[in-house]
């Protein structure tokens, strides 16, 4: 569930569209190869991406969907040598990416002891999601991904509730201490330096450019939270729920930012 660009046909550089913005230097349509994609599917400006305006590329993570589609779904047959596969391959890739993201969350849910009451259902959902990732391109395109995501989300939400409730007891946090933000809370630019956000529900929160320096996010549910340009310097996310590499890559931080052991500290954290 981690990207392996060496075994991918540059799918994120072709299949996905992007628009000129703070994250990308120019526009690119879906199915159109990036101008920097080389013949061997490597990026010609990989070491300069942030400097030349392609920060979005350094943030993106496919959860391993790229190599799955390239090497398994299409059996190692690339879209350049077999152009007749290109359209379908580019359609399958974002679907596979969604499924692999769900695999990431479900796998984490099984490691959370407080969520043991729903582990049986989580295992069943994990098995079904894995089955979907092994479908043929034709069958995968017929899957109702939104319906499947909704069913999995019910389990992830219940997992979050169980873990955060246990966290309240474990961390001895008074019930009235937490401020209820709710899913999709607008916290853009919020001043939360040093905030006690332990066991908080920040699912889908917009934390763009928020100041979370020194904040404590132990047991906080961060699934889908938007961390673009969020300052996590000195923040404690070591025990947070459903945090992904994609989110961390989009944030700012430093050598004192505490991350879960399964995530990698972005190189720019040590420079900012």
68-91 pLDDT, tens digit per residue, is: 999 999 999 999 999 999 999 999
94-106 pLDDT, tens digit per residue, is: 999 999 999 999 9
16, 57, 79, 243 from 3: Cα distances, Å: 15, 13, 19, 16
pLDDT of residue 1: 80
CA angle 214, 179, 245 (to 5 degrees): 50
Residues 6+ positions from 199 with CB-CB distance below 8 Å: 164, 165, 167, 168, 171, 173, 178, 218, 219, 220
User: Domains of the chain (ranges plus CATH)?
Assistant: 5-165 (no CATH), 176-272 (2.160.20.80)
pLDDT of residue 177: 62
Q: What gap in Å lies between CA 234 and CA 196, rounded to an integer?
A: 13
| Higher-confidence position of 47 and 240 | 240
pLDDT of residue 169: 87
pTM over 0.75: yes
159-180 pLDDT, tens digit per residue, is: 999 999 999 888 887 766 666 6
pLDDT of residue 181: 79
Residues 6+ positions from 14 with CB-CB distance below 8 Å: 31, 32, 33, 34, 37, 79, 90
Among 42-51, 67-76, 84-93, 243-252, the minimum mean pLDDT is found in: 42-51
Look at residue 59 and tell me whether its pLDDT is greater than 60.
Answer: yes
pLDDT-above-70 percentage for the chain? 97
Q: What is the mean pLDDT of the chain?
A: 94
Look at residue 272 and tell me whether its pLDDT is greater than 60.
Answer: no
pLDDT of residue 215: 97
DSSP string, 208-265: TT-B-TT-B-TT-B-TT-B-TT-B-TT-B-TT-BS--HHHHHHSB--TT-B--TTSPP
pLDDT of residue 178: 62
119-166 pLDDT, tens digit per residue, is: 999 999 999 999 999 999 999 999 999 999 999 999 999 999 999 999
């Amino acid at each position: 569930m981690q990207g392996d660009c060496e075994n991918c046909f540059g799918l994120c550089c072709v299949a996905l569209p992007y628009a000129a913005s703070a994250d990308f230097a120019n526009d690119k349509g879906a199915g159109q190869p990036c101008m920097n994609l080389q013949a061997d599917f490597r990026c010609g400006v990989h070491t300069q991406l942030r400097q030349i305006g392609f920060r979005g590329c350094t943030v993106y993570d496919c959860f391993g969907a790229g190599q799955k589609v390239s090497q398994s779904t299409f059996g190692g047959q690339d879209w350049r040598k077999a152009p007749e596969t290109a359209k379908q391959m580019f359609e399958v890739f974002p679907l596979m990416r969604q499924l692999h993201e769900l695999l990431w969350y479900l796998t984490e849910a099984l490691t959370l002891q407080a969520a043991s009451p729903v582990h049986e259902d989580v295992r069943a959902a994990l098995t079904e999601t894995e089955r979907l990732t092994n479908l043929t391109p034709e069958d995968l395109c017929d899957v109702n991904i939104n319906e499947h995501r909704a069913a999995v989300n019910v389990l992830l939400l219940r997992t979050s509730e169980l873990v955060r409730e246990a966290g309240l007891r474990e961390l001895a946090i008074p019930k009235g201490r937490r401020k209820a933000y709710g899913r999709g809370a607008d916290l853009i630019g919020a001043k939360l330096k040093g905030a006690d956000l332990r066991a908080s529900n920040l699912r889908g929160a917009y934390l763009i450019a928020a100041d979370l320096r020194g904040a404590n996010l132990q047991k906080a549910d961060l699934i889908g939270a938007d961390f673009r340009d969020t300052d996590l310097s000195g923040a404690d996310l070591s025990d947070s729920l459903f945090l992904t590499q994609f989110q961390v890559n989009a944030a700012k931080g430093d050598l004192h930012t505490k991350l879960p052991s399964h995530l990698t500290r972005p190189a720019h954290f040590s420079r900012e």
